[in-house]
Structure 1
């Protein structure tokens, strides 16, 4: 089972069509996957990771910049600082919705190129803001909001990569793709302080521009568009997918995992600075995002091995216990306990990110194939394609809701700090929310599938 061969000699890339398009793509067919699919998918995954990584680097610019604004001549209150780190999260979450459907309309490779080049805009505006320290606060907010372009990249990247891999092998590649982006948070927070010390805060904008251009060139030269995935969604289809019960449930769970990761990542430096004034926040801020990013592929691998539901259920329990430990550290004013407990929480956000993203395509596959005659190969093939397409859209929508959840977490900390001069109240609220996620996971995907055919189908799909 082979595809046409284009002028580059790469099997699977259709000759005679403008651009790098693949007309036939059947990753769930074992023979196709072994002969053609695996290599092409891996190549697209690599360049997807690179572009998404830079998107996160740009998205988090202000999370590190706010620690140095006073030295640059801009004095802000704690509330204003938190707004500067919240607004990029808010716009990034909003942009994930159109970014989700962009690969289907323009082609995954084409949109990756465009979305990479768009990152030049927030970098240039950041340089302008730093070189003009007298700008009013509203102008800083607008400039910070534009860095949300980097947050949108995640949705289009994940939505696109979903099409390249077999449903039962998506946990690890989706985990790697997401982790490659997530680690951009840590890279920005780790590498930028020395660069700022050497060249000033303005270097935080300039450094990413040549890397963005290189990533766009790599995507242009080496990625592919999938004809079967390039079917634009109508508003009715988007509404249908967004209102499905499983889309809603998984959105709530993803608020608990990715919303926590990105909310903590944006806030971690400010939390350290307000709770432990004698600690240099920039020395530690990068650790949380690094641990959370590294744990994401682990979550995907565990979900492939044990099932996404089981991993997600126990992981939310671990998240709740971790937040309680952070609260105890704050009450005891123990910096070592605070750092260790918060890194544990970051690790659980990563594991949960990987396991929940494994669940989404598996759930759609089970629901779409239910009741079909397994002997009707054409019907099964069409159903698999429909499930993959709907899961791709759901992943983007769920990722947008998760990012909005990060905004809620940041605002929970802001309200707690402004009203109680501490973060204990926020931590109690978060621990209670993780408890809700435990109950929701059990009710929706463990108890309901406890016996019989439903449980077998979900287990076979890796839910």
Structure 2
């Protein structure tokens, strides 16, 4: 194992955000607590890691960071797939067999979203207490539980909605993996490469959403919509591979990347709340639509096939197949665009990219709203033009939300790099403070952003329960939020 490290700390300047509106007065202490001393990793530990030391970086640290990035992406990818597995399971759940309505199914995909959002806060601190490698192993093995229980429940229908929601909640464990993985990789890479590294790490994880949907599509296309256990079996194998890979190839760092004091300290900065709100608009949209897109398409196709009558098993299967054939495309493009968004933010600045992302999302929201409204006021199945507008607008929302995910996360280390420059004290302490604050906000913003996914699913559920039995009202609300986010970004960071 390479333990190449550097002993000097450099700083870099990034113009992606405006000057901070407030400055820190004290540095968060880095001395480990008694609990952390007991839980600190004992093996595969790299000490005195300094990514800003360019000589050490070129001498070997780059390869060490890249190796950890590769397996961090792998473990986070599987975590995202388990987190979003119920967006696929609902396509295997005809109402005649399981007894759940469309509104019930939106609850089923909202529950793991909420649990994953809440877990992102403790998962952010986990790498500091247990080590990035150790936590990657543990969090991967823990996902075997929801995978097995999902398998069992899906092949034994007849249980209550509450039982299904409890098992779906366990899938939320996969949502926490994002925070620990991002916090860990943030500590491995220098400031000049954080946008690319965090974008690649997050994009590789996000792509777990379309991949599990693609696996579901292959199962439905080849075996029909009555074999959901095949999807679970595939991911049991992948979980084992990712956990073993993390154990063999990843490393722990000896310094803290986030801690409870940093979590409290970062919340005193107004920018922490603003960035978190912006992340609701980007990541919240990505994960919310990722979980709901298939169900929205399923309801659209089912309404066109039945004309409002009770669906037959053949019609239900046909609608599920049509939805699965399209649903994975949006999350796939959104995952890929996150990497590009982080790299673009490295070049142009996080705030610039974020502003124009929200402008584009507002335009895409208008397209989706108009297409849905046109379908509402016409009888029969949606026309080709209406479906093109609906699906095209959704895909555009996915792509832009991915770009915004990368650019918003680029803003985080740049914000605290700027704030740290005004703090008196040695450069090494300022760098440690900036790293600790960035790691803390990555977790907090990730948690709050994921709550946006819950709100999207609940909004769609409420909209479908309305008199119009349509998602149009929810689309109007989402579009207005994107307009507000664009204005907020312009006022605060692009004055």
Q: TM-score, normalised by structure 1?
A: 0.90
- Deviation of 1:238 (Å): 2.1
Once residues 229 and 236 of structure 2 are traced to their aligned partners in structure 1, the CA distance between those partners, rounded to angstroms, is 12
- The corresponding residue for 1:308 is 350
- The corresponding residue for 1:272 is 297
1:426 and 2:426 aligned: no
1:347 and 2:403 aligned: no
- The corresponding residue for 2:275 is 250
1:407 and 2:454 aligned: yes
Once residues 9 and 83 of structure 1 are traced to their aligned partners in structure 2, the CA distance between those partners, rounded to angstroms, is 47
Unpaired runs of 5+ residues, structure 2, are 7-40, 305-318, 376-385
SS at match of 1:18: coil
CA contact (8 A) 1:72 1:133 kept: no
Once residues 139 and 99 of structure 1 are traced to their aligned partners in structure 2, the CA distance between those partners, rounded to angstroms, is 26
- Deviation of 1:193 (Å): 2.6
1:11 and 2:36 aligned: no
CA contact (8 A) 1:292 1:349 kept: yes
Once residues 350 and 370 of structure 1 are traced to their aligned partners in structure 2, the CA distance between those partners, rounded to angstroms, is 32
- Deviation of 1:371 (Å): 5.3
- Deviation of 1:275 (Å): 2.8
CA contact (8 A) 2:350 2:407 kept: yes
What is the number of equivalent residue pairs in this alignment? Answer: 430
- The corresponding residue for 2:253 is 226
- Among candidates 122, 127, 139, match of residue 115 of structure 1: 139
- Deviation of 1:204 (Å): 1.9
CA contact (8 A) 1:276 1:335 kept: no
Once residues 155 and 400 of structure 2 are traced to their aligned partners in structure 1, the CA distance between those partners, rounded to angstroms, is 39
Unpaired runs of 5+ residues, structure 1, are 1-7, 373-377, 448-463
Shift of the 213–331 alpha-carbon distance from structure 1 to 2, 3 Å rule, reads same
Once residues 11 and 355 of structure 1 are traced to their aligned partners in structure 2, the CA distance between those partners, rounded to angstroms, is 30
SS at match of 1:76: coil
- The corresponding residue for 2:21 is none
Shift of the 418–9 alpha-carbon distance from structure 1 to 2, 3 Å rule, reads closer
- Among candidates 264, 284, 287, match of residue 259 of structure 1: 284
- The corresponding residue for 1:338 is 390
1:46-445 residue pairs with structure 2 within 5 A? 46-70=70-94, 73-196=97-220, 197-198=222-223, 200-229=227-256, 233-234=259-260, 236-277=261-302, 278=304, 280-333=322-375, 334-370=386-422, 372=424, 379-419=426-466, 420-445=468-493
C-alpha distance after superposition, 1:30-82 (max 9, x if no partner)? 21221132111100000000000000111111101111112892121111010
**Larger deviation: 429-438 or 44-53?**
429-438
- Deviation of 1:113 (Å): 0.6
Q: TM-score, normalised by structure 2?
A: 0.84
Higher RCO (CA < 8 A, seq sep 6+): 2
Once residues 194 and 287 of structure 1 are traced to their aligned partners in structure 2, the CA distance between those partners, rounded to angstroms, is 14
- Deviation of 1:12 (Å): 4.5
1:42 and 2:66 aligned: yes
